[in-house]
Amino acid sequence: MTVSSAPGKVYLFGEHAVVYGEPAVPCAIERRATVRVEARDDDHVRVSATDLSLDGFTVEYAGSTDDRPDVDVPASLVEAAMGYIDAAVEQARDAADAPDAGFDITVESEIPLGAGLGSSAAVTVAGIDAATRELGHAIPIEEIADRAYRAESNVQEGQASRADTFCSAVGGAVRVEGDDCRRIDAPDLPIVVGFDGGAGDTGELVAGVRALKEQYGFANDTIGTIGDIVRTGERYLDPDPEGPAATLDETERIEEIGRLMDFNHGLLESLGVSSRSLDSMVWAAREAGAHGAKLTGAGGGGCIAALDPTPETLTALRFTPGCEEAFRAELAADGVRRLE
Ligand code: MEV
């Protein structure tokens, strides 16, 4: 038996625009998917996901990846989750040159499905790491990130960036621009997450933005402006010692990052990927005094991320209609963890 875990993430800036080559800065958080893998002596794959949940959002199934599990969430989400596990198995077989390898796989996750916290990337990263190690063929973190990207890209029909998978593999705050992926320094960010209990369909949301971009030049400009926000934001995350942000203290830098997150949310809203519940959580956070707030991930429903060192945003979100769960998210310094 081999066991790996990998973290979820929130986007500080840049989701959607990153699909078109603009930079993005996701940040790994201590909500993990854990994947246990045991090699079989035939070529079958048996998957059981005992808990893909965040309080009250649970998927239970067991069966081969061809079976349709019995669940309490939309079938499309479960199909997507199964697709990521299939794709991870394919990558592990390829990496270990073992095309007929079979596995018993158990997935446990603290990250809700399709809610913008990178559940699919975390399951894919942990799955590839555990399955390759189970076959006696451990691969370096960079290769796990690359193979997880290829797996995710296959499932999302080529409409994926490297951001989610790289962030989950290496941990911390990262900067992704096309194929250029690296960790960056960041201050200790007081991240608060609000979750509306729902989910968005990443493929559909990405396709919607693409359609707007093709139809309207100004939607294309919006994507470029999101890139400008990211380029500005990274100066406050990891200031150039010679640049103007270097004269600010950490609180002032975090305030500026929050302001830029507000801008970023407005632009995502204009691209049609927000929702009433995401907007109302963003406004609840702002009214509670958060430095800034935005949706995270593909949108359509799911989670927002706000910056607030005080308890006010957390309390306000807990009383916001449409917010099912709110929690403080610690930055995950580690990406994939090899547990057994
Ligand atoms: C989804 O978590 C983030 C998107 O930018 C898609 C991607 O980068 O693959 C919407």
Nearest to 163 by CA among 155, 171, 153, 174: 174
- 202 C-alpha to center of ligand 1: Å? 7
Instruction: Tell me the percentage of the chain whose pLDDT exceeds 90.
Output: 78
68 pLDDT higher than 60? no
**Is it the case that residue 66 has pLDDT exceeding 70?**
no
In a shared domain, residues 33 and 106: yes
The reported pLDDT for the residue numbered 156 is 80
**Number of domains within the chain:** 2
Residues involved in catalysis: 164
Query: In the beta sheet, which residues pair with residue 180?
Result: 177
- CA of 82 relative to ligand 1 center, distance in Å: 18
Please report, as a single letter, which amino acid is at residue 26. P
Q: How far apart are CA 77 and CA 306, in angstroms?
A: 26
Give residues (CB < 6 A) around ligand 1. 15-16, 18-19, 160-161, 163-164, 202, 206, 297-298
In a domain, 324, yes or no: yes
User: How far apart, in whole angstroms, are the C-alpha atoms of residue 95 and residue 32?
Assistant: 24
Tell me how far the alpha carbon of residue 265 lies from the centroid of ligand 1, in angstroms. Answer: 15
State the helix-helix crossing angle for 250-270 and 217-237, rounded to 10 degrees: 170
Structure-model confidence comparison of residues 48 and 271, the more confident one: 271
Phi-psi region of 76 (alpha: psi -120 to 50; beta: other; left: phi over 0): alpha
Residue 305's pLDDT is 98
What's at 83, amino acid-wise?
A: G
Q: The whole model's pTM is what? A: 0.92
Q: Which of 185, 212, 244 is the last residue of a domain?
A: 185
- Whether pLDDT at 121 is above 90: yes
| 49 & 109 share domain | yes
| 7/146 same-domain check | yes
User: Which residue has its alpha carbon closest to ligand 1 atom 8?
Assistant: 161
CB 70 within 8 A of CB 110: no
Mean pLDDT of the region 28-52: 87
Identify the domain containing residue 44 by its residue range: 2-185
Is 98 contained in some domain? yes
**Least trusted range by pLDDT, from 14-23, 133-142, 234-243:** 234-243
**What CATH number did the domain enclosing 249 receive?**
3.30.70.890
Mean pLDDT over all residues of the chain? Answer: 91
CA atoms within 13 A on the CB side of 110: 12
Per-residue burial over 219-231, b = 16 or more CB atoms within 10 Å of its CB, e = otherwise: beebbebbbebbe
Same domain, 180 and 218: no
What is the structure's pLDDT at 97?
A: 96
Least confidently predicted of 154-158, 276-280, 284-288: 154-158
Q: Whose CA is nearest to atom 9 of ligand 1?
A: 160
Report if residue 334 sits inside a domain.
no
The residue-averaged pLDDT of 127-139 equals: 97
Is 172 domain-assigned? yes
pLDDT in tens, 231-268: 999 999 999 888 888 899 999 999 999 999 999 999 99
Does residue 337 fall inside a structural domain? no
Those residues whose C-beta lies under 8 Å from the C-beta of residue 211, and which sit 6 or more positions away, are none
pLDDT above 60: residue 63:
no
Length of the chain: 340
